[in-house]
Structures are given as structure tokens and as C-alpha cells.
Amino acid sequence: MNYGTDYSSTKAKNLGRIYKYFYNYLPTFFGHGFKGVALIYELGKLDTKSSFKLGVEYGFFLQFGVFSYIMTAIQNRHKKD
């Protein structure tokens, strides 16, 4: 499957596609990454849980920024077509 060119002209379909392949996983990825850092530095159980939550929140923040950028690029591409 070609992830870069399989977008349609329907915005709702594009949103569904992005959500399915990308949007769900970024906060979880960052959450586990932060949790991994806490485990490496042998922080306590409470600190590890807090690190995971912080990573998830950071992931949501980045997720929104990247998602907005992708949707802007998709809209601009269709305007060029």
C-alpha cells in the first residue's frame, strides 16, 4: 500500500485513513518511551507511572501538531490539482 498517494478528494475519508494508520499510535509510543526512560534511570513506581502519563500528554500535543500539518498539506495538494 502506498501511504503517500492513496488519499482521495473526500476530506472525511482522508481523516479516517490518517486516524487509522497514524493518529492512534503516537501518544502511546511517546508514553512507553518516557516510561522506558524512567525504568532505565531506575525511578520509583510512582515516577514511572507519572513518566508514562507525561509521555502520553506530550504525544497528544505532537499528534495534534503533526495532524494539522498533514491535513493542511492534503488540502493544499487538492487545490493544486
6 in a domain, yes or no?
A: no
How many domains is the chain built from? 1
pLDDT computed for residue 78 by the predictor: 63
DSSP symbol at 53: H
**Rounded to two decimals, what is the model's pTM?**
0.54
Per-residue pLDDT at 79: 66
Whether residue 29 lies inside any domain: the answer is: yes
Which DSSP category does 2 fall into? -
Considering the domain boundaries, does residue 58 fall inside one? Answer: yes
Any domain includes 24: yes
**Is residue 11 a part of any domain in this protein?**
no
DSSP summary character for residue 81: -
Domain extent at residue 69: 20-74
**Is 13 part of a structural domain of the chain?**
no
Please indicate, yes or no, if residue 46 is contained in any of the structural domains: yes
In order along its 81 residues, the chain shows pLDDT tens digits of 455 556 666 777 777 777 776 667 888 888 999 998 888 888 888 888 999 999 989 988 888 888 788 778 777 766 665
